[in-house]
Amino acid sequence: MPEDLREVAAARLPAMRPVDDWLRVDDAYSAQLALKADLIADRRDSVIAVCDGAGAALDELLGHVVDHLPDGFAVSGEMVTRPDGVTVAIDRGDPLLTLSQIVQEDLCILQKQGDEHVLTAALLCFPSSWTLAQKIGKPLGAIHVPVAEYDDNIARRVQRLFDGVQVGRPLWRANFLRYDEAALHQPRREDDPRPVGGPDAQFERSERQTVLRLPQTASVVFSIHVSVVAL
């Protein structure tokens, strides 16, 4: 487990800080992308969702990722060669499927509607005890039901953060949780909260969460890189 995650997770919410490498590749890269492919093949509607009006943001996100891939990738025309040697064809007609084949991160698009940012599209293969079906199309406040510490004060601070994040200046934070199971895909409904991992929990799970603004559509991208290790 990267030590920077442990340190940042100890800070009080929302505790965002600047980051350069908003996309990260680690030693679980190939295995995680293989699992994403299986999940999409078996239950695409559970892990990919798109609302009307999100198309332009998704097109921009795909282009932005391809233009900002970290070291180890090679781009030639409409093909991307991954660090593990696999070559992926860029499908402009299915941006989230293409992104699922390139990056480890889950990716959420949030667009300002009224006073709040709303989740209008997402690739969510590795949820940490929530479901895309219950969150898609909802604003930030409703997305965080039933997180106990997400009170009105935190909600206002998070909304200000989403309003204020600047193009070219992504931010990041992390959480750190104890889990009884190592599975990356752990969806849970709001009325079925996860029991908090106790001292005997066998695994540590951390989400490296980044927030960035796309320059053309002004949409906000929330990316989640999940790491799980056995204690």
Distance between start and end Cα atoms, the chain = 10
Ranges under pLDDT 70 in the chain: 13-14, 145-151, 194-197
The DSSP call for residue 48 is E
Q: What pTM was computed for the model?
A: 0.93
CA distance 6 to 51: 34
CA distance 210 to 174: 9
Sorted by sequence, the CB contacts under 8 Å of residue 80 that are 6+ apart come out as: 66, 69, 73, 74, 87, 88, 90, 102
Q: In this predicted model, what pLDDT tens digit does every residue of 86-111 receive, in sequence order?
A: 999 999 999 999 999 999 999 999 99
Tokens at 49, concatenated: 């969702």
Q: What is the largest CA-CA distance in the chain?
A: 50
